[in-house]
Structure 1
Amino acid sequence: MLLSLALIFMVGYLLAAVFKKLRLPELIGYLLSGMILGPYGMNVLDASLLDIGGDIKQIALLIILTQAGLSLELDDFKKMGSKAVFMSFVPACFEITATFFLSKWLFNFNTIDALLLGTIIASASPAVIVPKMLKLMKEGYGVKKGVPQLVLTGASVDDVFNIVLFTSVLGFQANSGVSAMDFVMIPVTILLGIGLGIVMGFAVSYVFKRINTSIQIKTILVLSIGFVLLTVEPLVANYLPFSALIAVMAMGVTLLKTYPEDAKAISHQLSRLWVGAQVLLFALVGAAVNLGYASKAGYLAIIMLVLALVVRSIGVMVCVSRSDFTRKEKIFAAIAGTPKATVQAAIGGIPLAMGLPNGEMILAISVIAILFTAPVGAILIDLTYKKFLTHDI
């Protein structure tokens, strides 16, 4: 495993440097490193590393979502108002609907498989979007109107909404029926996550104000709480369903409000951890990409993804239609939600593993979604944010 880690970091950083010279997103280099070294490339990565890939992805997501929470002021939420709530699910619903009908038309999917594909594809990638929006906030682009904050919050909650919906549709497949309670539990899961995160945030703030220890130890404690929440979530899902990732974000927001000194220092520590975590995250996503599956979906998958993203953009425009955003700011909000990677890599293969009729094609389309939207979306964000957003600092 040690050699595999060394190869990932060396090849990843080397390719990232090449793409940086070409003025392209470094994450493309990290993705390619996983594809080259992974089981569908040179196959030199240790199987034990790939076996714990899911845990590593969760750790990386935990780092960026904790950092996101620690960077979001409550005043930002007040500014965003109902837009933040609508951005959390409306664009996803638009994209799920578009993917549902397009997959039935282009690939002749049955109803359940079309719904599953919709919930997989509709997830924006916090692994791409959150670091980009944090960078914009740090540089002061669009901050006064809350454009990057809105995109960041929407992308993070959007994933939870889609994953819960995906799980519900899998239940429909198993039970051959639809329960209204399955839909009711989606907002319940999110709200319970927010509530638990607020409670944990106050508790952490109380403890930190009364203990004298280094900020490094406090950072480890915050991450450890996140690990506990991620572990407990599936254990209590039947009688206390909550989203651990939402809870982690809410905890960060609460800590920033109640103890801003430590919150900002912890966020700085996490930004250092992210330097290494992002390489592992995207390399392992790349290692999961099977180009053989991708080739089977062909150009029809690209057509479907483009059309679905157009429909998603309409959903974003609906969410910000009554805001004080300029036309360019609204367009940027739509562009910023296009990258996909983490969720597609994590759950894209589940329908195939379950033996569903179109499982192989669902995985193929998920792979193409990663290869197409992650680099293209990241490039578009980098090319447009200085032109479309005001520089407030």
Structure 2
Amino acid sequence: MTLNFLIVLILIGGWLTGKLFTRMGLPSVLGMTLLGIALSYFYRSVFPEVIWEISPFFKSLALIVILLRAGLGISRATLKKVGLPAVLLSFIPCLSEGFFLMFLFHKIAGFELAVAGVAAFLLAAVSPAVVVPSMLDLKERGFGKKNDIPTMILAGASMDDVFAITIFTIFLGVAGGNDVSLLKSVAQIPLSIGGGVAVGLIVGFFLVWYFNRNHERIRATEKTLLLLGTAILLVQVGDWLHLAALLGVMTTGFILLEKSERAAHELAYNLNKAWVFAEILLFVLIGMSVDISVALDAGLKGLLIIFLGLIARSAGVLFSVLFAPVSWKERWFCVFSYLPKATVQAAMGSVPLAAGIAHGEEILAYAVMAIVFTAPLGLILIRQFGPQLLEVELPAEDSPEEGHDRREEDGTRR
């Protein structure tokens, strides 16, 4: 199979399966993911090797697009409103699931504690690839606007991965016999988050200055190209410096909306168009990274461990929003939104095996099974029950002042 034919198969096939699943009343991205899984199952042996080399870049680019869209849609007033619950959601669900999974892997699977920690925090990361576009879709349709539930989840989920990946790296070093300073590693978490936000602020203010100064001389398409190029560079620098680069990307979008609203609306409009292409690439490639035969190796024991971990995660989510001024329906929606796993598990599932960690093949099997089980489950629950659990606020129901603001905003976009 040639690379050109495979790319066509991904794009056209992803679009068709997305349309088919939409007609069936299911999330379109579920169809794209299942297409990727089917391609991997039947044609993995004939994929050109170059696809695995360029796949990480394509997935990273798609995540950059969706996180920029998220940042460009979050105002300071909204972020202030969801403050404490969003902060709690950024680490409590991850830690509650991670340490409970660590106990389960040690007791049920017989892993040593350090290896159990590697497996546990690999599985404990929520998927921004699934959660972020789902929340943006609900925001655009007016669901959960009263208490800004989608924004609260967007802010919390974007930091969840930072905690999971940092603790995963700590245990990976311990399990590999490296001399790891626990205190230094734990301190890395706030440094990673703070550094990512700081870099995002720097990039954001630079782009604000440049766009405001040259607004009439630069077309919206050129602004979008410059923003994407800068965001890609930001992610690369963040990876080198071990910073929360994707959080920095989201911060860049937030600053643009706050300080250069006219340019932000132009950028959001173009990124919405780019997402049509990026969404197909992201979810089909995530599906292609799944090897069903590997997932089956985890068996019923793996499914049990993953399911019990999700219960611990759900308890952490409920605790995080327990004292927030939201309804119980909205609390259960938050639980559903924190279930899907895909991005980190697909990107890092094979890392323990490559590092020579004991039970590396089993850990990879658990990671693949987590994607196969939780990604479709989370997608269906979010897309199907979100409109039922969240209050909708349609444009027709706006107050006169809100309607006036929206008309002004629409005029700016045009």
What is the TM-score normalised by the length of structure 1? 0.95
- Counterpart in 2 of 1:349? 350
Aligned mates of 2:290, 2:344 — CA distance in 1 = 13
CA contact (8 A) 1:172 1:178 kept: no
2:235 to 230, 234, 238: 230
- Counterpart in 2 of 1:49? 51
State the one-letter code of the partner of 1:290: D
Alignment of 1:388 with 2:389, yes or no, is yes
Cα distance per residue 1:280-314 (max 9 Å; x no partner): 11222222211121111111222111211111111
Please list, as runs of the form range in 1=range in 2, the aligned pairs for 1:243-262 lying within 5 A after superposition. 243-262=244-263
Alignment of 1:181 with 2:178, yes or no, is no
CA contact (8 A) 1:50 1:284 kept: no
CA contact (8 A) 1:285 1:342 kept: yes
State the one-letter code of the partner of 2:160: D
Partner secondary structure for residue 213 of structure 2? coil
Cα distance per residue 1:10-29 (max 9 Å; x no partner): 22222223322221222222
Partner secondary structure for residue 209 of structure 1? helix
State the one-letter code of the partner of 1:61: L
- Counterpart in 1 of 2:403? none
Aligned mates of 1:33, 1:50 — CA distance in 2 = 17
Partner secondary structure for residue 392 of structure 1? coil
Cα distance per residue 1:60-109 (max 9 Å; x no partner): 11111111111111111110121111111111001101111111222111
State the one-letter code of the partner of 1:14: L
Structure 2: gaps of 5 or more residues? 395-414
Please list, as runs of the form range in 1=range in 2, the aligned pairs for 1:1-393 lying within 5 A after superposition. 1-38=3-40, 41=43, 43-174=45-176, 175=178, 177-211=180-214, 212-235=217-240, 237=241, 241-393=242-394
How far the C-alpha of 1:117 sits from its partner, in A, is 1.3
Aligned mates of 2:349, 2:375 — CA distance in 1 = 15
CA contact (8 A) 1:103 1:109 kept: yes
State the one-letter code of the partner of 1:356: I
CA contact (8 A) 1:27 1:375 kept: no
More off after superposition, 295-304 vs 44-53: 44-53
CA contact (8 A) 2:70 2:253 kept: yes
Partner secondary structure for residue 99 of structure 2? helix
How far the C-alpha of 1:215 sits from its partner, in A, is 0.8
Cα pair distance change 1:42/1:201, threshold 3 Å: closer
More off after superposition, 357-366 vs 165-174: 165-174
Aligned mates of 2:383, 2:277 — CA distance in 1 = 21
CA contact (8 A) 1:233 1:242 kept: yes
CA contact (8 A) 1:70 1:256 kept: yes
How far the C-alpha of 1:318 sits from its partner, in A, is 1.3
Aligned mates of 1:233, 1:197 — CA distance in 2 = 10
Partner secondary structure for residue 144 of structure 2? coil
- Matched pairs, number: 389
CA contact (8 A) 2:41 2:292 kept: no
How far the C-alpha of 1:37 sits from its partner, in A, is 2.5
Structure 1: gaps of 5 or more residues? none
Cα distance per residue 1:180-209 (max 9 Å; x no partner): 111001111101111221222122111101
How far the C-alpha of 1:33 sits from its partner, in A, is 2.2
Cα pair distance change 1:134/1:234, threshold 3 Å: closer
Aligned mates of 1:368, 1:129 — CA distance in 2 = 19
How far the C-alpha of 1:177 sits from its partner, in A, is 4.6
Aligned mates of 1:155, 1:4 — CA distance in 2 = 32
Partner secondary structure for residue 339 of structure 1? coil
Aligned mates of 1:388, 1:73 — CA distance in 2 = 24
How far the C-alpha of 1:168 sits from its partner, in A, is 2.3
CA contact (8 A) 2:175 2:357 kept: no
Aligned mates of 2:326, 2:89 — CA distance in 1 = 14
Aligned mates of 2:344, 2:12 — CA distance in 1 = 25
State the one-letter code of the partner of 2:19: A
What is the TM-score normalised by the length of structure 2? 0.90
Partner secondary structure for residue 290 of structure 2? coil
How far the C-alpha of 1:340 sits from its partner, in A, is 0.9
CA contact (8 A) 1:37 1:45 kept: no
The percent identity for this pair of structures is 35
How far the C-alpha of 1:178 sits from its partner, in A, is 4.3
State the one-letter code of the partner of 2:277: G
